[in-house]
Each structure stands twice: as C-alpha cells, then as structure tokens.
Amino acid sequence: MMSGMFRGSWTIFRLGRIPVRLHWSLLLILPYLAFVIGDQFAAAARMAGLPARATVLGPCVWGVALAVSLFLCVLLHELSHVAVGVHAGAEVQSVTLMMLGGVTQMTRMPARPVWDGLMALAGPAASGVLGLAGVALWRFVPAALPDVKFGAFYLGEINLALAAFNLLPAFPMDGGRILRAILQPVLGRVRATEGAALVGKILAVLLAIGGLYVGNILLLLIAVFVFAGAGVEARQAQIEDLTRRFTVGQVMDRHPPIVESVATTAEVAARIRTSGDGAFFVVAADGRLLGGVLATQLFAVPDETGTPVTTVMQAPLPTATPDEPLETALRDLAGARFPRLPVVDGDGRLLGALGPEVLENLRRGRDLERRRAALFGRRREA
Ligand SMILES: [Zn+2]
C-alpha cells in the first residue's frame, strides 16, 4: 500500500533521510499472528507437509520468529516501492509499516502515470518473489531440515497472500494505483482515482459482510482500513487537482480580520471577544503587513491598556503573492506557526489571507458544480 495519511505511528529508524515508522495496526497484528501461529502450530506443520513435533523449535518460538520475519517482509515490500519511486523522481517523506503492507508517503509523486504504476507494482512484485522463493525452498529442502522447511513454507505463503491482496485493483491497495495508472490517460487523474477508490469501498463492504458472516474480527478490521484508506486517496487526488488549478488570488479571503498597529492589546482583546476571530493581522496606516497576533498570545499579556499590539505580535510572517499557485502557498501555510497565510502585493501591502478552510470550500464548490452539471447534463471538468 502507498500514500495516505495515517496517525498513530512511531519512528523506529531512519533510512538516510527517510524515517521508517511503525503503525499500531502492525503492533496489533504481530502478537495476534504470533499467537495464531503458536496456537495452530500442529495444523500449520501439517499444511507444510511435516509430521507434528517434527520441528526442533517449539510453537511459541516459531510464533514470534514468524511474526518478526513478516515484519521484515513488509519492510522489503515497502522499500521496493521506495527504490522504484526514488528512481522515477518521487520524493519520499516517510515509510510507515502497517498490516497489509505499509504506506509510503510522498511529497512528490512520479511525474508520469506509467512510473506511478511501476512504483506501485514494485511492492507486490517483491512480495511475490519472496513468496515464490519461500515455496521453492520448502519444496527443495530435504526433510532432514524440518525447521527450514516449515519457515520457508509459512513465509512463502504469507508473502504470496500479501502480493495477491495488494494486487486487488482497488484503493488503497497497490493494485488501485496500478488501475489508476491504466485509467488515467482516459479518465484524467481525479476520476481515475475516484474510480479505483470506489472499487476499494465496495470491496471493503464485501469484506465486512464476509467478516461478519464468518465471525472474523481481523477481516472486519481490514475492511475498516480499506474503506477509510479509499476515502483518503480520493480526497487527496481531488485536493491535489484543485491546488494545481487555482492561484492564491482566486481563492483568498479578501477581508481577513486586521488591527491597526496603533491598537493596544486591550483593544484587540475586546475585538476578539465581540468578533470571535482568533487571529488578526497587524497592518500599518499605509496598509503594509507588520505581523500577526493570536488570541492565545493576548490573553497571556497582563491586561494593561497601554501595551501596544506591535510588542506582542509575531513578525515577520511568511507570505504569499496573489499569482502564486495554491499548491506552494498551502505547503507554506502547513509549515507556518501562524494559522493563516497573509497574501501581500509587491510593496508588502496586505491583500487577503489563506486559511486551512480554503480546501474544504473549494471541494464543496466543486461538488456543487458537479451536481449542477449532472442536473443540466453538462460536464465542466479540467
Ligand atoms: Zn505496497
């Protein structure tokens, strides 16, 4: 699996610059797997064609050893994505290992869909090779080495399952990305992503029904992950598309809350109470932006009527220009300490501001546009 935003993970080590993170779902599934393997050891050994009690190592040792090996296999799967991605010019931000594979977060995707598809294919290909190698080892290792036979069989099967599952043509699985790479030349990036995400959601519902039917909690958990992941992918593609189509000037708020530099902290605090705004830009008499002040900062100042707001404001703030693409401005906003990004002209005069709500507004506008187009039978899409 690749991309998407997943909270609840910890950095375990770094590969060069890239942090490799561990997601709680893997922490959950590893002990579960260790337990299941230990618990059903005799059956697993039988499946591997070995008589019960043939292995030197006991069920508990095997449970832990296989769970840890699985983690390493997932790591190899993910690093294959990274290797092909970096080769294709992608910028990898982090790798998160979780159940069903993992997530490679990218700040820049490969430019061409074909490389996007190949990057997605790399993970299942690695799992497939590991799987086939395991099965081959199981076949050709003599019966005198039952532990090697057993480990090779089990890891081979798990890797083959991992490859097959990730090749399902649905987001957020790797197959979804491959499907999108195929559909993109025909449908465009956004609709191709939405198509693959829709398949993902349908698949998740089927998995959930199946999980309920057989009473398998793990299947239900997987269904929830697939459903949520599919939604994240679709939304991300929509946002990516919107940020490329608009400039800052087209979508900025033209009347952000401002205070003049001569105001005192007490005056600004009074305005905060009446307006409910939490962040103000401080501007000079000629309209030049001087800084910004937050409600939380003001309430930390003793209520002395004479304190000028300029002594407590944050300055200088990062700024955007109106003709800048929304994509870069939003990246600056995400990295800034102030919640709104001021938009200024060449002379530093405040023209407007960008807040985090801009994307949600754009998305709503786009949905409205679509519904209207559907009603009147017209499509207006880039
Ligand atoms: Zn993958």
C-alpha 188 – ligand 1 centre gap (Å): 23
C-alpha 78 – ligand 1 centre gap (Å): 6
C-alpha 120 – ligand 1 centre gap (Å): 6
C-alpha 224 – ligand 1 centre gap (Å): 18
Rounded mean pLDDT, 76-96: 85
Question: pTM above the 0.75 mark?
Answer: no
C-alpha 49 – ligand 1 centre gap (Å): 30
> Is 5 a residue whose pLDDT tops 50?
no
Predicted local confidence at residue 378, as pLDDT: 47
Higher per-residue pLDDT: 339 or 304: 339
C-alpha 306 – ligand 1 centre gap (Å): 60
C-alpha 297 – ligand 1 centre gap (Å): 45
C-alpha 122 – ligand 1 centre gap (Å): 8
Element (H, E) at 70: helix 59-87
> Which residues lie at CB < 5 A from ion ligand 1?
1, 101, 123, 174
C-alpha 124 – ligand 1 centre gap (Å): 6
C-alpha 83 – ligand 1 centre gap (Å): 12
What digits encode the pLDDT tens for the residues 207-228?
A: 899 999 998 887 888 888 888 8
Predicted local confidence at residue 374, as pLDDT: 61
What digits encode the pLDDT tens for the residues 212-268?
A: 999 888 788 888 888 888 887 787 777 777 777 888 888 888 888 888 888 888 888
Is 11:108 a contact under the CB 8 Å cutoff? Answer: no
C-alpha 241 – ligand 1 centre gap (Å): 23
Return the HEC string of 217-259. HHHHHHHHHHHHHHHHHHHHHHHHHHHHHCEHHHHCECCCCEE
> Is 107 a residue whose pLDDT tops 90?
no
- Residue 170: CA atoms inside 13 Å, Cβ hemisphere, count? 21
Distance CA 242, CA 238 (A): 6
C-alpha 40 – ligand 1 centre gap (Å): 28
What digits encode the pLDDT tens for the residues 298-316?
A: 777 766 667 888 888 888 8
Predicted local confidence at residue 344, as pLDDT: 92
Most confident by average pLDDT, 18-22, 80-84, 363-367 = 80-84
Predicted local confidence at residue 1, as pLDDT: 44
> Is 59 a residue whose pLDDT tops 90?
no
